[in-house]
Structure 1
Amino acid sequence: MTSTGTAEKKEGKQQSKETSIHVPNPHLQNMREDVLYHLALGTGTHNLPALFGDIKFVCTGGSPLRMKAFIIYIAKELAIGNPGSDFPNLCAATDRYAMYKAGPVLALSHGIGMPSIAIMLHEVIKLLHHANCSNVVIIRMGTSGGIGLEPGSVVITKQAVNASFKPQLEQTVLGKSVFRNTDLDEKLADELLDCGKELHQFNTVIGNTLCTLDFYEGQARLDGAICSYTEDDKMKYLKAAHEAGVKNIEMESGTVAAMCNLTGIKGAVLCVTLLNRLQGDQITSSHEVLLEYEERPQKLVGHFIKKRLGKK
C-alpha cells in the first residue's frame, strides 16, 4: 500500500471513531423491533433514517413550550421554512415529551431531573443510532441557580459534579452501584465559550455544575417543606461548592455527561443563572427579566449552530 493509501486509511479510521454513535447494548441487535415508547416512535412503525438521518444537533430543555420556541427561533436563523411556518410535535402521540425538527436540528423536552432526562436520552440515542446519524452533538439548555455569579450569566459545564463535588454519577444497576464519569467535552465547551464572547450580550463562563437529586434539600435551600439544617450549614456547603469550582446548580447535567461519554457523543450543558444562591433561595426577578434570561442559552446555541453550518 502506498503512503497516501496508508494516510487515507488512518484518516478514515479517525473519522469513523469521531462520528460513530456507540450503543453499548448487545441485546438490541436481537430485537425484531425497537419501540421508543416514550417518544411514540419505533423501528417497525417509522422510517427513522428517512425522518431523522440528517440530524446533527440535538438540543434539549425541560419545557415543551421552550423547545417549541427554540425550534421556531433556530428555523428563522437558518432560513428553514417560511415565516410563520408551524413545526409539529413529532411525538404528539404521547404526552411524556415534545419533539420538533428543523433541518439538521432536533429540539425536544426532557422534563425535570435526572430520571426524566435519562429516559429521553436512552430513546433519542437509540433513535440516532437507528437513523444512522453521524457527527451528532447533544446540548442541554436550561436554567440554574448560580454560585457567586450575577443573575443572567450563562454557565458552560466543564464537569457535572455530585453532592460531594466529585465528577461522577452513581447509577444503581442490578442492586449495585456503578460510577460513571461526568466530564464533558472540553473542545466543545471552549467552542461554545468563544460563541458567547462573540455575542457580547451577556456574561459567559466555563465551570463545574453541581447536579442534584432534588430542588430543595439537595440544593441546600431553606424554603422547602422540609429542612433539617441551619442557614450557617447552608452557607458553609455553598461556599465549599464554590471553592470546588462549582458555578451553578441544576438537576440534569450528570446524566447528560455520563450518557454522552458512554455512547461516544459529544455533549454540552449550558444553563443561565436565575439568581446568586449565596444571596438567597427564591427567584425575585420579574417575569419579563426571566424570559429574557431563558433566551440567552438559546441565542448562544443558535450562534454555535450557525457557525458549525457555515451560516455566519
Structure 2
Amino acid sequence: MPPTITSNEAHDFKAHYDRGHSSPLKENEEEDAYVHRITRYSDGTVKLRNSNIELMDQDILYHLALGSESHDLVEMFGDVKFVCMGGTPKRMENFAHFIMEDIGYKLPAGTQLQDISAYSYRYSMYKVGPVLCVSHGMGTPSVSILMHEMIKLMYHAKCKDPVFIRIGTCGGIGVEGGTVIITEDALDGQLRNSHEFTILGQTIHRPAKLDKKLARELKSLSSADDPYDTIIGKTLCTNDFYEGQGRLDGAFCEFSENDKMAYLEKLQEHGVVNIEMESTIFAALTHHAGIKAAVVCVALLNRLNGDQVNAPKEVMHEWQQRPQILVSRYIRKILAQHGQLKSLFGHQGSIKSPRRFKLVQQESQAHE
C-alpha cells in the first residue's frame, strides 16, 4: 500500500519555517519542494493530502458521474497531461474540438466526442488524448467542488505531473477588450494573495500561488503577429459579479461612481489588470495539491470605461478563442518536446502529408 499523509504533516511546514531562512526566494523554493514531497509518489503520480480516501471501498466523484470502482479510471484517464477548465460547457466543448484539430488527434472511425460527465447534469467533460477539457461553472464554490474531484481523479487515474490551466473571461482594468491576460498573482477582495476557507468553524488561509515559470512560458508563446496584446499581471478574484466588482448596474448599489473609480484606481496601483471570480480558489487548491497551474483570460471590456459588456456576439466569440489559441500553443510545444505530437498525428493513419491532404480537399470542394 502506498504511504499515507499523516495528520501531523499539516503542521510540519510551519515548524520548518519557524527555524528561519536566509531569503524569501529560498523560502519559496523550500516550500515548493516540501509541497511536492507530500503530493507526489516517487513515480510522479499524484498523492492526496487525505489518507481517508485509501480506506474507502469506493470513492464516488459525485459531480462528475464517475467512481473509483465503477469505472476503470486508470484506463480512461491515465494518459492525461493537461486539464483545461473554463466556465461554460459549450466553451469547453468548443475547446475540445479546437485542440483536437490543433494537435492532430483523430478519434476512432465512427465515433465522436462524448461528454463523459453528461449524467452528472452539473459539469461537462471531454477527453482529447492527453487533454481533458472540463467546465467549472461560475464562482469559487462551483470551482471548489470541481477541483476536489478533479484532483482526486488525477490520483485514482495515476496521472503523472498533470498541468491545470483555467481558460476564462474577465473584466480588464486599464486594458482594452480582447486583451489576453495571464495571471501572475491571484488576489482576493482584500488584495491578499490567498484564499480564505472556513473549515469546522475555523478561518484558514491557503496561498493562492500559480506557477510563475509556466506563466512566463505561456507569455513567450504570444506572437508579434497576433492582432492583440498578451500581458502578465495580477488578477482580483471576487465573490460577486456586481457590488463585489464595483459595478453600478446591479440590483443594489450604495456607492457612487467616484467611489467606484477610486477603487479601480487603487487596484491599478497594486498592479491588478483584471477581475474575475475563480482565480484564488483555483490557485489555492492546485498549489495545495502540488499541481502546476496557470490562469489565462481574455478581457471583455475595460472597466475604467464602463460596467456592461457591449461587444457584438461575433466579436465576443473571436475574443474567447484567443486564450484557447495560446494554451494550444503550449500544449503543442510540450507534446513536441516529449516526442508525442508526432505520434498523435500518426493516428491519422492513411494521411501521409497533411499539406497535400489539404490541397486535395480544396480541389474536391472546387468541383462540388
TM-score of the two chains, using structure 2 as the length reference: 0.78
SS of match in other structure, 1:247: strand
Once residues 99 and 219 of structure 1 are traced to their aligned partners in structure 2, the CA distance between those partners, rounded to angstroms, is 30
Conserved 8 A contact 2:83-2:163: yes
Task: Determine what percentage of the aligned residue pairs are the same residue.
Answer: 47
Partner residue, 1:62: 87
SS of match in other structure, 1:309: helix
Once residues 37 and 193 of structure 1 are traced to their aligned partners in structure 2, the CA distance between those partners, rounded to angstroms, is 36
Q: Give the counterpart of 2:68 among 43, 59, 63.
A: 43
Once residues 50 and 305 of structure 2 are traced to their aligned partners in structure 1, the CA distance between those partners, rounded to angstroms, is 45
Once residues 312 and 43 of structure 2 are traced to their aligned partners in structure 1, the CA distance between those partners, rounded to angstroms, is 44
* 1:224 maps to 2:227: no
SS of match in other structure, 1:65: helix
Conserved 8 A contact 2:195-2:206: yes
Distance 1:240 1:18, change over 3 A: farther
Q: Give the counterpart of 1:90 among 116, 127, 130.
A: 116
Instruction: Give me the CA root mean square deviation.
Output: 1.8
Once residues 183 and 220 of structure 2 are traced to their aligned partners in structure 1, the CA distance between those partners, rounded to angstroms, is 14
- Residue-by-residue CA offset, 1:10-62 (whole Å, 9 max, x unaligned): xxx9x967944232112111111100000000011000000000000000000
Q: Give the counterpart of 1:22 among 40, 43, 47.
A: 47
Structure with larger RCO (C-alpha < 8 A, sep 6+) = 1
Q: Give the counterpart of 1:266 among 287, 292, 313.
A: 292
Partner residue, 2:21: none
Conserved 8 A contact 2:166-2:295: yes
Partner residue, 2:146: 120
- Residue-by-residue CA offset, 1:51-92 (whole Å, 9 max, x unaligned): 000000000000101101100110111111159962000011
1:70 maps to a residue whose letter is F
Q: Which has the larger radius of gyration?
A: 2
Partner residue, 1:237: 263
Once residues 200 and 293 of structure 1 are traced to their aligned partners in structure 2, the CA distance between those partners, rounded to angstroms, is 12
Conserved 8 A contact 2:41-2:47: no
Once residues 42 and 264 of structure 2 are traced to their aligned partners in structure 1, the CA distance between those partners, rounded to angstroms, is 40
Distance 1:25 1:45, change over 3 A: same
Give the deviation of 1:143 after TM superposition.
0.3
Number of equivalent positions: 299
Q: Give the counterpart of 2:78 among 53, 63, 81.
A: 53
Once residues 208 and 268 of structure 2 are traced to their aligned partners in structure 1, the CA distance between those partners, rounded to angstroms, is 18
Partner residue, 1:33: 58
Once residues 42 and 281 of structure 2 are traced to their aligned partners in structure 1, the CA distance between those partners, rounded to angstroms, is 22
SS of match in other structure, 1:125: helix
Conserved 8 A contact 1:22-1:262: no
Once residues 200 and 23 of structure 1 are traced to their aligned partners in structure 2, the CA distance between those partners, rounded to angstroms, is 40
SS of match in other structure, 1:300: helix
TM-score of the two chains, using structure 1 as the length reference: 0.92
